[in-house]
Structure 1
């Protein structure tokens, strides 16, 4: 049976670090560490930052859900701005932002979004053991 961790944070940038800490703790509790934990935590940081930055619903809560079945981990970040779907774009070298989804796409096995009745959910799927193997340096 999969393990699930769900929490909510206010739609405010100063709460992104709290989300990152809670993701890191859940991963540690499940024995996910090293490069896979770093990739998942960085992806969570990017998706939560996007949610708190782009959601136009005032006083909103952002929901973060991690589901781990021992082989795959699913990260989901949902906010109530259902009609503002994520659109990756090419950022100019001098732009300060706009690379979050590209980063998530590079770190995750797959990512996407879905519109639910009252929310939008952006998700990323990881295979922690495969991610760990991918980060092992090759012998010279």
Structure 2
């Protein structure tokens, strides 16, 4: 059975650090450590920041779900602005923002988005270290 941690924050930038804190706490509780923690927290920060920045629903909340199942870790960030789907942006060197989804694409093993009945969800999947080739003996 997968381990799941879900929390909600108000749609405001000042609550992004709260989301990072919850993600760190969940990962530590599951014994996830090392560079993967940095990647997951960075991408949680980016996805939550995108949600609070671009969601146009008044008094909305952003939902963050982490699921650990076997050697897969899934980060999902949902908001109620279901028709504003994420579009990767190719930033110029002079632009201050617009690189969040490029980071997601670079650091996650897989990522995507979906439209649920009342929300949209942007997700990133990570493979925990040691998950590939565990059962394969080394070549002679």
* TM-score normalised by structure 2 residue count: 0.91
Distance 1:130 1:86 in 2: 31
The residue aligned with 2:117 is 117
The residue aligned with 2:31 is 31
What secondary structure is seen at the aligned counterpart in 2 of 1:129?
coil
Q: Which has the larger radius of gyration?
A: 2
Following superposition, the deviation at residue 89 of structure 1 comes to 1.4
Following superposition, the deviation at residue 130 of structure 1 comes to 5.3
Q: What stretches of structure 1 move > 4 A for 4+ residues in a row?
A: none
The residue aligned with 1:8 is 8
Check 1:117–1:110 CA distance in 2 against 1; reply closer, same or farther (3 A cut).
same
Following superposition, the deviation at residue 70 of structure 1 comes to 2.9
Query: How big is each residue's C-alpha offset from its partner over 1:68-111, in whole Å with a ceiling of 9 and x where there is no partner?
Result: 01300000000000000000010011101000000011110000
Following superposition, the deviation at residue 128 of structure 1 comes to 2.1
Runs of at least 5 residues in structure 1 that lack an aligned partner in the other structure: 132-140
After TM superposition, the structure 1 = structure 2 runs for residues 44-123 of structure 1, keeping only pairs within 5 Å, are 44-123=44-123
Query: How big is each residue's C-alpha offset from its partner over 1:115-140, in whole Å with a ceiling of 9 and x where there is no partner?
Result: 01100000000012159xxxxxxxxx
Runs of at least 5 residues in structure 2 that lack an aligned partner in the other structure: 132-140
* TM-score normalised by structure 1 residue count: 0.91
Output the aligned Cα RMSD: 1.1
Distance 2:52 2:21 in 1: 16
What secondary structure is seen at the aligned counterpart in 1 of 2:105?
helix
Greater fraction helix: 1
